[in-house]
Amino acid sequence: MATIRKRSRKRDAILACVRATTCHPSAEWVYQRLKPTIPDLSLGTVYRNLSMFKDEGLVISVGTVGGLERFDGNTKPHTHFVCTRCSAVLDLMDINLEDGFLQNVHDTAGGAITDYRLSFYGLCPDCMQAANAAE
């Protein structure tokens, strides 16, 4: 019983951690964040739980950025901007995909679109500024 309770406490903490941030964390980030309050937490447990959450639709994967898979607690369809320099993943919630674009995808797919993952890549404002300053 004690083991099960402990395991679900970790599970709850991991899910809450991903949902509480908009930084689109990696497993490593979640692990570093929770380790001080859950000393017996292992990186493997974080990986396993994030993978389960993904299968259960509780989190989505933003894909691999700089070699690490990144997760999002916001499962509503939205667009991302990924900085190729500092690996920041930003939400572009207010981007309005023109109806024509989604209609075009819909027509091409021929079925029904229920979800989408769209990411743009480039330099974030901070990295843009740093690049300009270095010139």
Interacting residues toward Zn ion by CB under 5 A: 72, 83, 85-86, 88, 91, 124, 127
CB of 41 to Zn ion, least distance (A): 24
Other C-beta atoms closer than 10 Å to the C-beta of 10 total: 19
Residue among 10 and 24 whose Cβ is closer to Zn ion: 24
Q: Residues near 61 by Cβ (< 8 Å), separated by ≥ 6? A: 54, 69, 70, 71, 72
Cβ pair 71, 18 in contact under 8 A = yes
Comparing C-alpha atoms, which of 69, 79, 2 is closest to residue 30?
Answer: 69
Return the number of the residue (48 or 85) whose C-beta is nearest Zn ion.
85
Other C-beta atoms closer than 10 Å to the C-beta of 9 total 11
Q: How far apart are CA 125 and CA 135, in angstroms?
A: 16
Measured from the CB atom, the residue of 14 and 124 that comes closer to Zn ion is: 124
To Zn ion, the closest distance from the beta carbon of 115 in angstroms equals 13
Q: In angstroms, what is the minimal distance from the CB of 32 to Zn ion?
A: 20
Closer CB to Zn ion, residue 105 or residue 118? 118
**CB of 104 vs Zn ion, minimal distance in Å:** 24
